[in-house]
Structure 1
């Protein structure tokens, strides 16, 4: 489970991230994290790899759109040489 933080008024909120494919904001727990390893975007299932992460919905359309439209490069702020083509890729 993600760490919750306190915002004004004592309300606990979950971390929110933006999908690199569709651009919608969603709770971090609802998105898949990818990390950049030697120029390649790889799934970070345990959310332990270092560096900036990119997040996508568990939807093939979001993954494809992020790869095709430069969403991963924008999220990583770096050049991406390859990205997973399917949700079950490593």
Structure 2
């Protein structure tokens, strides 16, 4: 996955084939191909003006050309007390 500002993401074809999945606060939206089921991109909960994009869905993109940062999901928090004010993500645990 890579992060892209919403103004930088253009769906050139197949938008009518996308299915959206939402849960809990409905802030994040996850999009899948309704034909093959591949996870294409999602609108981020903590940064709603950005998308997380599956780089393997990008035409002519070589994933080996960019550095990779591993993320340990178990240590991640859904709470961000320092989130920017325009992002509606959670501020407190609960």
Q: Same fold (TM over 0.5)?
A: no
Structure ranking higher on relative contact order (CA contacts 8 Å, 6+ apart): 1
TM score, norm. by length of structure 2 = 0.27
TM score, norm. by length of structure 1 = 0.28
Higher-Rg member (1/2) = 2
Of Structure 1 and Structure 2, which has the larger fraction of its residues in helix?
Answer: 1
